[in-house]
Amino acid sequence: MRFAFLEMVSAEALMRDVPQTLSFMQTLPEDRPVGAQLVGCDPGVMGEAAAKVEAMGFDLVDLNLGCPVPKVVSKGGGSMLLREPHTAQHIFTRVVRAVKRIPVTVKMRLGFSDPSGREAMRIARLAQECGVDAIAVHGRTRVQGYSGSADYEAIRRVKEAVTIPVIGNGDVVDGASATRLRRVSGCDGVMVARGALGHPWIYRTIEAALAGCPAPAAPTLAERKQVVLRHIELQTRYELRPLGHLRRIICWYFTNLPGVAEFRDRIHRAQSIEEMRSLVDSFQPCAHAMTPVSA
Ligand SMILES: Cc1cc2nc3c(=O)[nH]c(=O)nc-3n(C[C@H](O)[C@H](O)[C@H](O)COP(=O)(O)O)c2cc1C
């Protein structure tokens, strides 16, 4: 089974109906099952916001205990809660009490600075005692940020500390890394983040690998273009100023194809959505470029 979470939103901003927050939470029927993720550190506000997420029709509500961003951490939210087990416990209690029908999950890092996984184990046990349904663990600490590699052995220690499902996360970029995460950590599910940027085919690749099936064919150029054009259409429909984001997003889809450097340059100079569409339409990997092709 597959499901996705939206990017985190501030519980407090959601309760104030901040227009930008509400716009981040738009979804399409085909996105389901889809969860919303809340960040914050006030148990009462987190409880109210979780009830609101449920009322908005989301299928899950997730609590962020992993965000490393200074603006979030300095206010006591995200990964700072790994150091504040009492506050975390209050949040779990209020949220589980406020939500009636949908699962409550928690996304965390291994710890704030201790890479052993002890902080995550403690928080995971508290979450389980409070009635949280599942947890996801990114195998790095807040201090590590995105450096080094995710520690799947430490995720195993968290997995062994609880009986609720544990979803492993960190550095999954293909079938082999997903299989290694599952084997080393014993996790019940695999979460993919950066590996899916410009590569939504990663999900079918991972599913095949975990089922022991041969890898599906890499997407053809026509398939890539079709998905990029759909991405452009949705981004344009749901974002007020999509040009800036699209400059980055479109190039992700063609990473590693020969000739992409020149294409990237043209996309960055494009001044309209129409121009971007036509650049995508006419893009041809150039046979004599030195960049190797990979799936
Ligand atoms: C640009 C960016 C934004 C992210 N936003 C969120 C977020 O809103 N909520 C969250 O729980 N994790 C967020 N993450 C962390 C990812 O969910 C994930 O834990 C991390 O990138 C490690 O997984 P990966 O190696 O598969 O990318 C973000 C990561 C990146 C790079």
Instruction: Supply the pLDDT for residue 184.
Output: 98
DSSP 30: G
pLDDT tens-digit series, residues 188-206: 999 999 999 999 999 999 9
Q: Is 213 in the pocket of ligand 1 (CB under 6 A)?
A: no
Instruction: Give the position of tokens 């006419």.
Output: 282
| DSSP strands (E only) in 103-227 | 104-111, 134-141, 166-169, 189-191
Q: Is 151 in the pocket of ligand 1 (CB under 6 A)?
A: no
Instruction: Supply the pLDDT for residue 241.
Output: 85
Angle between helices 243-252 and 221-238 (to 10 degrees): 160
Instruction: Supply the pLDDT for residue 238.
Output: 86
Residue 187 annotated to the active site: no
* Ranges of residues in the chain whose predicted pLDDT is under 70: 287-295
Instruction: Supply the pLDDT for residue 259.
Output: 83
For 165, the 3-state DSSP assignment is: coil
> What is the pTM (predicted TM-score) of this model?
0.93
Instruction: Supply the pLDDT for residue 294.
Output: 44
Instruction: Supply the pLDDT for residue 240.
Output: 79
Instruction: Supply the pLDDT for residue 291.
Output: 44
**Ligand 1 centre and the CA of 193: distance in Å?**
6
Rounded CA gap, 148 and 40, in Å? 27
Report phi then psi at 77, rounded to 5: -100, -175
Instruction: Give the position of tokens 């949705």.
Output: 234
Amino acid at 93: T
Q: Residues near 129 by Cβ (< 8 Å), separated by ≥ 6?
A: none
**Ligand 1 centre and the CA of 78: distance in Å?**
12
Q: Residues near 8 by Cβ (< 8 Å), separated by ≥ 6?
A: 37, 38, 39, 64, 67
Mutate to test the pocket of ligand 1, among 140, 169, 172, 252 (most ligand atoms within 8 A of CB): 169
